[in-house]
Amino acid sequence: MQRMAILAVFVLLVGPAAAHHGWGSYDAAKPITVSGPILTSKFENPHATITVKGSDKEWTVILAPTSRMNSRGAVPAMIAAGKTVSAYGYASTVEKNELRAERITVDGKTFELR
């Protein structure tokens, strides 16, 4: 019985940490910029995400946590579908067409996300 309780506590504590990905799988040596219209936008934790129609392909752009987005003025209306964005960051070495954004520019305003 005690082993079951310890296992349950372990799963509850480790599960959320395992679900959150680290930033080590992004190629920080080769920054890129993806620009184009936002096709989809999700303003939810652990990170806001947008899909951007770049010049060559569609990109999933990982943004900051929603609390950081809000505190820096990048509220949901700023990253809504239909807006045009320029996202500067690092491509994933694991997920195809995924970018971790360091900063974005929308409507002439630049938001630092890290």
Give the tens place of pLDDT for each residue, 43-77. Answer: 999 999 999 999 999 999 999 999 999 999 999 99
Distance CA 25, CA 70 (A): 26
Does residue 82 contact residue 106 with C-beta atoms inside 8 Å?
Answer: no
Q: Which residues pair with 33 in a beta bridge?
A: 88
- C-alpha 56/C-alpha 107 separation (Å) is 22
Kindly list the domain boundaries of the chain, sorted by start residue: 23-112
CB neighbourhood size of 78 (10 A): 19
On the question of pLDDT at 109 being above 50, the answer is yes
pLDDT tens readout for residues 17-48: 444 456 678 999 999 999 999 999 999 999 99
Q: From CA 63, how far away is CA 76, in angstroms rounded?
A: 12
**Per CATH, domain 23-112 is 2.40.50.1010:** yes
Q: What is the rounded distance in angstroms from the CA atom of residue 54 to the CA atom of residue 86?
A: 9
Is the pLDDT assigned to residue 12 strictly greater than 60? Answer: no
CB proximity list for 15: less than 8 A, separation 6 or greater = none
